[in-house]
Structure 1
Amino acid sequence: MSSRKFLFVKYFFHPFYVFLLFFLFFFFPTFSFTQEITINGKIIDSEFEAPLEGVNIILSLESELKSCIYNNYNISSDTTKLYVFSVFSDTSGYFIFNSIPLHKKMFNCYITASRVGYKNFNKVIVIDSSTFLTKTKIILTVDVILEPSIISTGEITVVSTKYNTFLKDTPFSMEILEKEEILKQPATNLPTLLDTKAGISFVKDGVWGAEISIRGLTRNNVVFLIDGNRVETSNDIAARLSLVDLYDIEKVEVIKGGSSVIYGTGALGGIINVVSKSGNFSNKTSLGGSLLCSYSSVNNEKLINLSFLVSSRLYYLKLAGTLREAGNLNTPMGTVGNSQYKDDNLSLSAGLTPLKNQKIKFSFQRFSASDVGINGGFGIFPLNALVKYPYEKRELTSFEYISENIYSGSAFNINKLSFKFFYQTVLRDVEVLQNQSQIVLDPPKQIINTTKLTPNSKNYTVGLQLQSDIIFLKRNYLIFGIDFWNRTLDSRREREQFIISFDSSGNNILSSTYKLTGERPIPESNFESFGLFLQNELSLPYFSYGNNTSKIILGLRTELNKISNSKVFNPVYVIINNGIINYNPEGQKVLWNERNIINSSFSANLGVLLSAFNDIDLTFNTSYSFRSPSLEERYQYIDLGSLVRLGNPDLNIEKGIFFDFGIRTWKQNLNLNLNLFTGFFSDLVIEIPGIYENRTALIKNNSGKSRIYGFDMYFSYSPSSFIDLLFYTTISYTRGKDTENNLDLPQIPPLNSRVGLKTVIPVFENLFSIDFSTVLYARQDKIYKGETETPGYVIFNTYINTKPVFIYRKSKYIIFYLGVENIFNKSYKNHLSSNRGNMYIEPGRNFFIKSTINF
């Protein structure tokens, strides 16, 4: 594996990829139109007259213009001749639609601007065709003023559908976490924030490391992506969702259930896609940035984040960094030892428009953590062990090329062709200080003191994707693509022991030996995936009875997986006192033989959005999805001083059939999203108790048939547009059954709800707003064998955020966020927590404060 560092070069400069890029640049010239229009403007907050960043501006054109695409936004193409383009405002509030091609026909411009926390802005501009008699290019300036709003309208742009669309326009069951929500709450990791969403619960493996459960499915059944790039690493001890800088996130999109089948293996329970903060092209050169500082009392966490952004019509560049450090966690039962952590992040993103309708995007992220205490992981480590991550690192490099408005014809239009390449490394070191002694009484008597274990893994993932967006027969928006990714795993472990040998009497010491044993928990292995995917959205305007457009989405994917591993011995080597490595030690045996496994799979999903009544939509989703077991599930050999956990190379593919029924309403004063779901699964990978080498072991195996069902709901209501008052609630219920053995499934969250009230105090309405929140969990007594029942609990939280305090004109300002969680210092246990021993107690009362300066 010494050539791993050259893996990026090896894949990127492969002749096939070089030829592909050459083909994209020179053989897909963009379609040339004779007329162009440029629209620019500035977004202003009506209350403070300050510029607004990150506002989504939608431009709709009604004309004889043939279908095309702009800034990665899909175009509707029905009989109304309505074409849609999308951009975002920069740090100074500016936006631009640059050189949009037109025909010489009279047309209307419909402009919509939306952002979380504001009412939508709508404006119509009519341009007469006589304007084209003397001008081949029209330039319009439109200033947009947004009024604050306490309720969401569903007009949030989402990208995890493989094309840009509004949240309210997709039939998929989705949850969105916006950057504004991240600022208003304290959080150690991403799962803690996503836990506030309906149908999502966090799973703790300690304070720093955590996972999420989506409707009862978690870890390997949920695909995690950063900007559409897969993050592949071990999930036995949660870490992947903690290797993300919370303050480098624009938003997080979660597709719940199997509707995300076009992402391939692992999406049985859903996907999480982190959309990182990036720059935007601007109509004038602008420079901005922000400084954020925060403090939390519950673990003495201190954080600082600094970012800079420069943008223009031709390019943008964003640079950001974060430093964070925390001590041990305080709970109502005392301090949790070994729960400290340190981490940092550096990110860079850049964009370039070298030619008209062509974009090049580049991003780099480097997240690292050190001295991270692991106070959880029950069943893996001995109870008296001190376990930590000495060093963790995730590094991502991504390149994307986008060509738009490629071809326009009478029957179909090629709106976009994109090519993406990424290379990601996840390095994980573990240190286990256990001081565990074993007495061997058989002559000669020995005392074996195992003092330290140091497992580590190096995960290298390389991937590429080619996707085309096509409109045909006016109402069909088709995406077609191929993707490939390869994960290479290099896993090692060293075991440090001191062995004291006695004479035949067992009383006198003969020798003391230092022994270092090298092992491979998992053999050198690869997981390759090659997939073809297709998804078509059919608009049905004649079946639309409300304000939205009815549509049907059909997605198909076929995938080929190749799993291979090298032959591995146990132990690999032994070093005794003299320091000489022995690669053929006594007792060495073959742990895994060399193998090559090929799995082929097919998956499909169908989604229906029916605009049944005014502002009321009905949704239906069904899917057939799969998951090929991971490298860890097939080959792992975890022996860290407690029980042994063993993989199984002969595991079958997991399969699932999923159904989801929903009703939605998006009104100016009321939102409702209610979904009923059920899933039928076969061959789920579980751990079965067994014996390995006369030791208690958990061995991977396929279960029979299972069913998971339930419902989740989000509801919000604002009684008056004249009063900033919002009542909101979420309710989530999940039930899991092993239908073959009539048993409850493990790791199923109990019934839970969140009830809250957001408002302003009249006397201080120009100073701050306040959010009172209550978290309620029911008792969980539907448990799997070996699990323990958990009682219900209620905790109370309060969040306050100030209005902007301007420090220079209307463009530089500071905002404070503060509050207290678990106000009454309630002692409670999260059912899904895997903390071991007496470490079941969640955080105690936490006072926090944040300040962000935008400049």
Structure 2
Amino acid sequence: MDFKLTGKIVDESGEGLMASVFIHELGKGTAADIDGNFEINKLRPGNYHLHVTHLGYKSLSQTLTIQDADVEFSTTMIASAIQLESLTIEANPFKNGPLEQSQTILVIDRDYIEKNNAGTFANTLEKLPGISTINTGVGISKPVIRGMSFNRIMINDRGIKQEGQQWGADHGLEIDPFDVDRVEIIKGPASLMYGSDGMAGVINISPPAFKQDGEIEATVTSMYRNNNDMFSNSASIAGNEGDFVFGGRFTMQDFADYRIPAESFNYAGFVLPIYENRLKNTAGSERHFSVMGGVKKQWGYSTLTVSRFQQKAGIFVGAVGVPRSYNLRPDGDSRNIDIPRQESSHMKVIWNNSIMLDDKWLELDLGYQKNIREEYSFPHSQEVAPDNPFGNLALSLDLDVFTANARISQQKSDKGQAILGFNTQFSRNRHSGFEFLLPSYESLQGGIFYFREIKFRSNLIFNTGARIDGAYHDIQEHLQPIYRNSRPTGEMDQRNPDIQKSFINWSASSGLSWVFQNYFNLKFNLGSAYRIPTPIELSSNGIHHGNFRHEVGNANLGSERSYQADLNFAYSNRKVSINLSPFIGYFDDFIYLAPSGRFSPLPGASDLWEYRQNNAIFAGSELSADFNIIKNIGFNIGVEYVDSHNLNTGLPLPLTPPFSTFASIDYRLPLESKILDKMRLFLEGKLASDQNRVDRNERQTAGYKLLGAGISWNTILYKQKIQFQISGQNLTNEFYLNHLSRYRLLNLPEQGRNITVNVKIPISIR
């Protein structure tokens, strides 16, 4: 038997609001009418999570139980001038609201992503406090959370862990920034729900909400960036026909060699030229697509998504081998992608299900991924035979990953809920090419967890949980033939032996969230997590050209263990929102890659870096504040600091981000016309301090100041809405070095002045 949900949404004065009302598990919702009344029909008995949102008001999240009668729900929304306060947090798999979360969480939506789109998904996030990026030129970047990256950060795309050789600093995320609707970033240990790779945090990429029955919409977005003449075009469509939901997107992006504010650079005592301020062979091209189809019914929904990300990107010629003047001369074509370069392809097939089981909900996510990454460079005569079958293919890594995640949640009346879940993953990696870095291997991992939420009062919530995991790595031996002057010597170099290692371990966490005096929210989270060493950490032994170094693994590495505490203090009223988040973590047997102070014996290499294990401490704090005290003017500031300390050497760990501050001011002009509507002016700046806290043999980096600004507005042309934005980055064309950039090792600065133009056309088909 079916029932209906009715209700009324009003503001503090009792006036009706045309708010959006949404049932998360069903992907089903409606909009209230002008008086605030709404109705949702055809609901089965069960437990649901209801979300109410309206621009300019704090979002609401409510657990809803339907038993044997229709349900009426009415609520009053609280006005807020803070934009992010209108977002509902869905960062955990338990479908709770912001009160239930005991961890520090950042939420951004499509508007934020489009405003800050920097060409890659990771660079779009770096203005958020606590988030940095490791860059290899332009087009290749990956996120850093509180000083940690690689396999300590989990990227979840539509419920499936993204797997794409994430251990490499020069291996960017295969995520189309135009195909991201909403991102939820959990900072701090999240191994309980997601597995060992969630030690530093989790970045959840959520799919867009389903369209309502009979609704079809499309968008066309274009972007141009003048620094590297980047052209980006993306088109999408999404709709719902009789509860058959569908969507699709295609993106193409091409860019030339990027410009830097320098005419030369110093490497190993030599002054080398930069012709026409362009860094040779840093051009690239990308092609991405995704298609989704499924059904949305009373029992839940089931969707299948297929996507593919393809990128071809040049690597600065000086990053492979020793840079020389002759190979830095321009080739006459700034868009040419020459050797050395990398090519990557990432295909994903994801099946998402949300199914009602009486008073429980089953969430089942199944995924298959195929990641192919190829690096091309000219072989050295010492490396290959005269009949080299690989040509210029230096390295090819072919990774297949199968993933299955399941969770069953049950509401415990109004006193909280319980979750039982498991995750499992099988990976198989194969390699080829005339060079060697990572051997072929197979890996099986899996875990089971239990989570319990207890509501002592409506404003005081406690949660706790535990997890146990196991893993097995089977790594194959690799023997590399030795050649001299292109002639075989008959000798073999064992780069790594056969390695079979098993791991089993546990993790646990507890936290609470307490709201007092309506404006204050205190959150505390305490957890112990672990991380399994990856095959690259156990067995690598070769030149990692994108990092300009020879990397050597250690087969004796064990699991690392962390004990972390995270505090979040928030104050929020209609015009002010302040969040302070101090954190500290002790890591037992922390695994890291450190410079050895020795040169590599391999041709074309530079320094030799080794994987090591030492005890370490990470500590720091983040501050974010939004002020809308003056009408139509918003001010935002974000401050972050992280300190890492190797307890064995007494030195910091390598690649620790510097202290930095980001601030912006936003003015919304009170204009309402067809030509100029919703006009915004914004000014932003970033200040990064000197980074002198470095590991032995790691270079220090001077601080810098960056200035940006922009303007955006809407126009209606022949009844069609068009959104424009023009923005500038590094407007002063400052010469600066990014401490986390891989090209910093060559004393190469970051991009110079960059002007970005965005145009978006939303099209309502039905």
TM-score, length-scaled by structure 2: 0.84
Q: How much has 1:789 moved relative to structure 2?
A: 2.0
1:633 match: 537
Structure 2 counterparts to residues 693-732 of structure 1, below 5 A: 698=608, 700-720=610-630, 723-732=631-640
Give me the whole-angstrom Cα distance separating, in 1, the residues matched to 2:607 and 2:286. 34
Contact 1:89 1:280 survives alignment (8 Å): no
Letter aligned with residue 683 of structure 1: D
Q: 1:118 to 1:337 in 2, by over 3 A?
A: farther
Deviations 1:409-458 (A, max 9, x none): xxxxx320122210011111111237x5779xxxxxx9x9x995521101
Contact 1:190 1:241 survives alignment (8 Å): no
One of 226, 234, 247 as aligned partner of 1:318 = 247
Letter aligned with residue 21 of structure 2: I
Contact 2:496 2:540 survives alignment (8 Å): no
Q: How much has 1:523 moved relative to structure 2?
A: 2.5
Deviations 1:755-802 (A, max 9, x none): 111113457884511111111111111111222222222111112210
1:556 aligns with 2:466: yes
Structure 2 counterparts to residues 19-418 of structure 1, below 5 A: 34=1, 36-37=3-4, 57-58=21-22, 70-72=23-25, 87=29, 97-101=40-44, 113-114=52-53, 118-120=56-58, 150-152=81-83, 154-235=85-166, 237-238=168-169, 241-277=172-208, 280-282=210-212, 284-333=213-262, 334-353=277-296, 356-370=298-312, 372-375=313-316, 381-383=321-323, 388-404=340-356, 406-407=357-358, 414-418=359-363
Give me the whole-angstrom Cα distance separating, in 1, the residues matched to 2:534 and 2:38. 44
The structure with more radius of gyration: 1
Contact 2:381 2:486 survives alignment (8 Å): no
Deviations 1:662-711 (A, max 9, x none): 21123221111111111111212223528799568735443321111111
Give me the whole-angstrom Cα distance separating, in 1, the residues matched to 2:61 and 2:288. 41
2:578 match: 672
Deviates more, 1:252-261 or 1:790-799: 252-261
1:773 match: 684
Contact 1:154 1:166 survives alignment (8 Å): no
Q: 1:825 to 1:41 in 2, by over 3 A?
A: farther
Contact 1:646 1:698 survives alignment (8 Å): yes
Q: How much has 1:804 moved relative to structure 2?
A: 4.8
Give me the whole-angstrom Cα distance separating, in 2, the residues matched to 1:757 and 1:228. 35
2:708 match: 797
Q: 1:756 to 1:478 in 2, by over 3 A?
A: same
Contact 1:88 1:280 survives alignment (8 Å): no
Letter aligned with residue 159 of structure 1: E
1:419 aligns with 2:364: yes
Give me the whole-angstrom Cα distance separating, in 2, the residues matched to 1:743 and 1:754. 27
Contact 2:442 2:473 survives alignment (8 Å): yes
Q: 1:383 to 1:656 in 2, by over 3 A?
A: farther
Deviates more, 1:465-474 or 1:685-694: 685-694
Give me the whole-angstrom Cα distance separating, in 1, the residues matched to 2:531 and 2:49. 44
2:478 match: 568
1:482 aligns with 2:435: no
1:535 match: 451
Give me the whole-angstrom Cα distance separating, in 2, the residues matched to 1:572 and 1:224. 39
Deviates more, 1:559-568 or 1:705-714: 559-568
Q: How much has 1:98 moved relative to structure 2?
A: 3.7
Deviations 1:793-827 (A, max 9, x none): 2111112210352643xxx4111111111122111
Q: 1:223 to 1:240 in 2, by over 3 A?
A: farther
Give ranges in structure 2 of 5+ residues lacking alignment. 11-16, 263-276, 328-337
Letter aligned with residue 737 of structure 1: H
Contact 1:328 1:339 survives alignment (8 Å): yes
Give ranges in structure 1 of 5+ residues lacking alignment. 1-33, 44-50, 59-69, 74-84, 104-108, 408-413, 440-445, 495-518
Q: 1:438 to 1:716 in 2, by over 3 A?
A: same
Letter aligned with residue 221 of structure 1: R
Contact 2:550 2:600 survives alignment (8 Å): no
1:588 match: 492
Deviations 1:613-670 (A, max 9, x none): 2221111111111111111111212236875322222211111111111211232211
2:13 match: none
Letter aligned with residue 449 of structure 2: F
Letter aligned with residue 641 of structure 2: Y
Give me the whole-angstrom Cα distance separating, in 2, the residues matched to 1:532 and 1:815. 46
Q: How much has 1:244 moved relative to structure 2?
A: 1.0
Give me the whole-angstrom Cα distance separating, in 2, the residues matched to 1:315 and 1:459. 33
Deviations 1:540-597 (A, max 9, x none): 21xx5xxxx22112121100001012333223999989xxxx9xx7112544333321
Q: How much has 1:846 moved relative to structure 2?
A: 1.2
Letter aligned with residue 36 of structure 1: F
1:651 aligns with 2:557: yes
Give me the whole-angstrom Cα distance separating, in 2, the residues matched to 1:415 and 1:178. 29
1:498 match: none
Q: How much has 1:149 moved relative to structure 2?
A: 6.9
Structure 2 counterparts to residues 786-825 of structure 1, below 5 A: 786-805=697-716, 807-808=718-719, 812-825=720-733
Give me the whole-angstrom Cα distance separating, in 1, the residues matched to 2:49 and 2:371. 46
Q: How much has 1:113 moved relative to structure 2?
A: 3.5
1:522 aligns with 2:415: no
Q: 1:851 to 1:699 in 2, by over 3 A?
A: closer
Letter aligned with residue 361 of structure 1: T
Contact 1:822 1:845 survives alignment (8 Å): yes
Give me the whole-angstrom Cα distance separating, in 2, the residues matched to 1:159 and 1:123. 10
Q: Secondary structure at the match of 2:181?
A: strand
Structure 2 counterparts to residues 677-696 of structure 1, below 5 A: 677-688=583-594, 689=596
Contact 1:683 1:703 survives alignment (8 Å): yes
Q: 1:563 to 1:749 in 2, by over 3 A?
A: same
Letter aligned with residue 184 of structure 2: E
1:470 aligns with 2:401: no
Q: How much has 1:165 moved relative to structure 2?
A: 2.5
Query: Which segments of structure 1 move beyond 6 Å, counting only runs of 4 or more?
Result: 40-43, 109-112, 121-124, 136-140, 144-149, 572-577, 690-693
2:511 match: 607
Q: 1:151 to 1:387 in 2, by over 3 A?
A: farther
Q: 1:263 to 1:89 in 2, by over 3 A?
A: farther
Letter aligned with residue 789 of structure 1: Q
Give me the whole-angstrom Cα distance separating, in 2, the residues matched to 1:304 and 1:148. 37
Q: How much has 1:338 moved relative to structure 2?
A: 1.5
One of 563, 567, 572 as aligned partner of 1:661 = 567
Aligned residues: 709
One of 395, 399, 402 as aligned partner of 1:455 = 395
1:504 match: none
Give me the whole-angstrom Cα distance separating, in 2, the residues matched to 1:171 and 1:190. 26
1:428 match: 373
Give me the whole-angstrom Cα distance separating, in 2, the residues matched to 1:644 and 1:214. 25
Q: How much has 1:168 moved relative to structure 2?
A: 4.8
Give me the whole-angstrom Cα distance separating, in 2, the residues matched to 1:121 and 1:556. 30
Q: Secondary structure at the match of 2:491?
A: coil
Q: 1:122 to 1:779 in 2, by over 3 A?
A: closer
1:735 match: 643
Q: How much has 1:139 moved relative to structure 2?
A: 12
Q: 1:680 to 1:761 in 2, by over 3 A?
A: same
Contact 1:220 1:235 survives alignment (8 Å): yes
One of 620, 624, 628 as aligned partner of 2:524 = 620
